[in-house]
Amino acid sequence: MEKVKILSPTAILGYGFPVKSFEAGLEKKPDVIAVDAGSVDPGPYYLGAGKSFTQRAAVKRDLYYMLKACVELNVPLLIGTAGGAGGRVHLMEVVEIIKELAFENDLSFKMAVIDTEIDKEWLKDKVRQRKTKPLGNLPDLTIEEIEEAVRIVAQAGMEPFIKALKAGAQVIVAGRAFDPAVFAAYPVAHGFDVGLSLHLGKILECAAIATEPGSGSDCLMGELDREGFVVYPLNPERRATPLSVSAHSLYEKTSPFELHGPGGKLDLSQVNFQAVDDRTVRVTGTKFIKTPNYYLKIEGVKKVGFRAISIAGSRDPKFIENFQSIASGVKKRVEDNFPELAGKYYLNFIAYGINGVMGALEPENKLSHEIGIVMDVVAEDKNTAEQILSFTRSTMLHFGFPGRISTAGNLAFPFSPSDIPVGDVYNFSIHHLVEVEDPEKLFPIEHIEIGGRGGGKTY
Residue 453 has a pLDDT of: 79
- Pairing label, strands 456-458, 419-436: unpaired
Give the pLDDT confidence score for residue 457 in this predicted structure. Answer: 63
HSE on the CB side for 232, CA within 13 Å? 18
Number of helices (H) and strands (E) in the chain: give both, helices first. 13, 20
**Alpha-carbon gap, residue 281 to 31, rounded angstroms:** 20
Tell if the pTM clears 0.85, that is, is over it.
yes
* CB-based contact 203:231 (threshold 8 Å): yes
Phi, psi of 161 (to 5 degrees): -65, -45
Low-confidence ranges of the chain (pLDDT < 70): 455-459
Q: What angle do CA 61, 13, 174 make, to 5 degrees?
A: 115
Nearest to 420 by CA among 392, 394, 389, 397: 389
**Nearest residue to 68 (alpha-carbon basis) of 458, 452, 448, 456:** 452
Task: Give the count of beta carbons closer than 10 Å to the beta carbon of residue 41.
Answer: 9
Torsion of Cα atoms, 141 then 145 then 146 then 147, to 10°: 150
CA-atom Rg of the chain in angstroms: 25
Asked if 211 and 281 touch (Cβ cutoff 8 Å), the reply is: no
Q: Looking at the DSSP assignment, which residues form a beta bridge with residue 232?
A: 221
204 phi-psi bin (left φ>0, alpha ψ -120 to 50, beta other): alpha
Q: For residue 126, which of 353, 255, 350, 293 has the smallest C-alpha distance?
A: 293
- Burial (CB count within 10 angstroms: exposed 0-12, middle 13-18, buried 19+), residue 203: buried
Pairing of strands 371-379, 280-284: unpaired
Ramachandran bin of 389, using left for φ above 0, alpha for ψ from -120 to 50, beta for the remaining angles: alpha
DSSP letter at 180 equals H
**In whole angstroms, what is the distance from residue 153 CA to residue 161 CA?**
16
- Residue 417: is the preceding peptide bond cis (ω within 30°)? yes
